[in-house]
A = this chain, B = another copy of it.
Amino acid sequence: MSHDYIRDGAEIYRRSFAIIRAEADLARFAPEEEKVAVRVIHAAGMVEVAADLAFGPGAVAAAKAALEAGAPVICDSRMVANGVTRARLPASNEVICTLDDPSVPTLALTIGNTRTAAAMMLWGERLKGAVVAIGNAPTALFHLFEMLDAGAPRPAAVIGMPVGFVGAAESKEALIADGRVPYIVVRGRKGGSAMAAAAINALASDRE
């Protein structure tokens, strides 16, 4: 059976973004936020995600400036790191994921937290001014607050898009309420590595 389908990747993107802009309610977003919203919706395959997106004041500008200045992108999972399109990054920025470090399993037992939370302790001074992308674990967001409480350096912005049924919604509301770090969030249970990476890809370049 033969199928007629679009084989041009650039044309698929163009048509996808046109459909999103025709269907999604994007009116409440500033222009630079709208571009992030379109890419996150594209990754999710759901225009209704527009209603769940929340941008902290100045978050898009802070994240873009950090990336342009060469800040690293620090990810909570390999899937987020793999979803970041390296060619879009403005300064060959480093993309960091420490989850596979051999010290992580033991560290997790020592601190009594998830492997994701343990892996964050390896970020060290690289966190200063970085753009953090959380697409998997709510514990990463909660642990970030604890690290900031303990004097960890502040990132330039946090993409807070953990997904799931236990803690995800609560961790994102906590990020919004915390106030210490500019945030871009998908509220509620929805989220995931594809959406977090899409947000980074939108912040990295104005090219669509």
Smallest beta-carbon distance A188→chain B, Å:
8
Near B by CB (< 8 A), chain A positions 134-154 give: 138-139, 142, 145-146, 149
Interface of chain A, helix or strand or loop or mixed?
A: helix
Q: Does A44 contact B (CB under 8 A)?
A: yes
Question: Which residues on the B side are within 8 Å of A69 (C-beta)?
Answer: none
Which residue of the partner chain B has the closest CB to A81?
A: B82
Q: How many copies does the complex hold?
A: 2
Most buried by B among A78, A142, A165, A166: A165
* A178 CA to B42 CA, complexed, in Å: 27
Does the CB pair B42–A164 fall under 8 Å? yes
Question: Which residues on the B side are within 8 Å of A20 (C-beta)?
Answer: 165
Question: Which residues on the B side are within 8 Å of A164 (C-beta)?
Answer: 12, 16, 42, 45
Q: Does A43 contact B (CB under 8 A)?
A: yes
Does the CB pair B163–A194 fall under 8 Å? yes
* A197 CA to B83 CA, complexed, in Å: 14
A-B contact pairs, 9 of them (CB 8 A): A5-B171, A6-B166, A15-B165, A16-B164, A43-B163, A45-B168, A45-B191, A78-B82, A79-B79
Residues of A within 8 A of B (CB): 1-3, 5-9, 12, 15-16, 19-20, 42-46, 78-79, 82-83, 112-115, 117, 138-139, 142, 145-146, 149, 163-168, 170-171, 174, 177-178, 188-194, 197
